Structure 1
């Protein structure tokens, strides 16, 4: 019971999701953390807040059926432009992806400001540099992206069937149309080089495109 109360206190006090490893470090040695989390999840399953796993970590969230009670307390984030939303979707499904690859998929030039806005939200990050001429930067999503959209992993993003069920794909789907399976690995791909300090020093946000 002491371990459950301790984990409960840590999770409630944290503004960010907490990993099992962090709980293990802060609880008594030998604590069965997976069991503690399972017990807490059961205890809170029928309460106003639920213990949920997001991006491989744990946090308390308002029970879905009570979300309407908190609408007055909801902070309205700055609305992203259509270009930013399209760019975010491409990065989420095609990561690791370069700016040139984003432009090829969108069919239009992507303003650097759009990528800057997404980086400022904390939803995307620079991953590495592609081993091609010019060594372009590659981009991927972050843990904050998973937390915001309530995903355990990028592989939980909706596929074709999910999009159809949600009404986003109406009518006949063109032959050969498919939704790519997102890359769930945070490790650099064989064609990526790690970033250097200079990559971050050179990063200078620009105004977003309209």
Structure 2
């Protein structure tokens, strides 16, 4: 067993009399390096493609979480990926160094909440829920934050675009998955909802997996992306 593996084992506080597996701790070190070096959350598939074939990725991630559970940074799940983030109780140390972002308008916050809880949702459906028209600038502002994306088209006349949240949304708000959004009771307990709520107010259960397309929705094609200005049209050779 090399010196580095010994340090990892000692740091994990191994107390079992059973001799620890050096291959496992070697894999933990490799996973740690890959996640640390990535600017984006790293998926289990990404790790599987780079770690030894016989490694149990779930075990590696579990042990790596334990390793960092009491440190200044923690390993957390972000959607389908994993990333190191500052421990929540130390976030105040970085607050003064953060770039002040332009605050979202009340309308943008309302639309963001609707998208998060009702995704996939079209612009017309947002307006039906809010009871007012949704300005294009509001959606553009949300798309610029990277928290919202155009995800598909509804299989209805006109094929309206559907919107959903991104992994950047989960990362920013500290959510492991979209199902971690607070429900009605949690919002009321946090003082974010008035005790006297409208009778028709409804906060649905967030979708289990917002990446799955339903029977009434289809993914965006290259032609759709060109039409929406998200893809440069292909130029045919003479």
TM-score (norm 1): 0.91
User: Residue 203 of structure 1 corresponds to which residue in structure 2?
Assistant: 228
Cα displacement string for residues 13-65 of structure 1 (whole angstroms, at most 9, x for unaligned residues): 11111111111111122112111111111111111111111213211111111
Q: Confirm or deny that 1:106 pairs with 2:127.
A: no
User: Residue 32 of structure 1 corresponds to which residue in structure 2?
Assistant: 56
User: Residue 144 of structure 2 corresponds to which residue in structure 1?
Assistant: 120
Choose between structure 1 and 2 for higher RCO, CA contacts under 8 A separated by at least 6 residues: 1
Cα displacement string for residues 58-92 of structure 1 (whole angstroms, at most 9, x for unaligned residues): 11111111111112222222211111111111111
TM-score (norm 2): 0.81
Return the offset for 1:176: 5.3
Question: Counterparts of 2:108 and 2:194 in 1: how far apart (Å)?
Answer: 23
Unaligned residue ranges in structure 1 (runs of 5+)? 206-210
Q: 8 Å contact 1:127–1:188 — kept in the other structure?
A: no
CA RMSD of aligned residues (A): 1.6
Q: Confirm or deny that 1:3 pairs with 2:22.
A: no
Question: Counterparts of 2:42 and 2:218 in 1: how far apart (Å)?
Answer: 30
Q: 1:27 to 1:117 in 2, by over 3 A?
A: same
Q: 8 Å contact 1:87–1:102 — kept in the other structure?
A: yes
Between the two proteins, the alignment pairs up a number of residues equal to: 205
Bigger Rg, structure 1 or 2: 2
Q: Which deviates more, 194-203 or 50-59?
A: 194-203
Unaligned residue ranges in structure 2 (runs of 5+)? 1-24, 231-238
User: Residue 54 of structure 1 corresponds to which residue in structure 2?
Assistant: 78
Question: Counterparts of 2:29 and 2:68 in 1: how far apart (Å)?
Answer: 13
Aligned with residue 112 of structure 2, among 81, 88, 94: 88
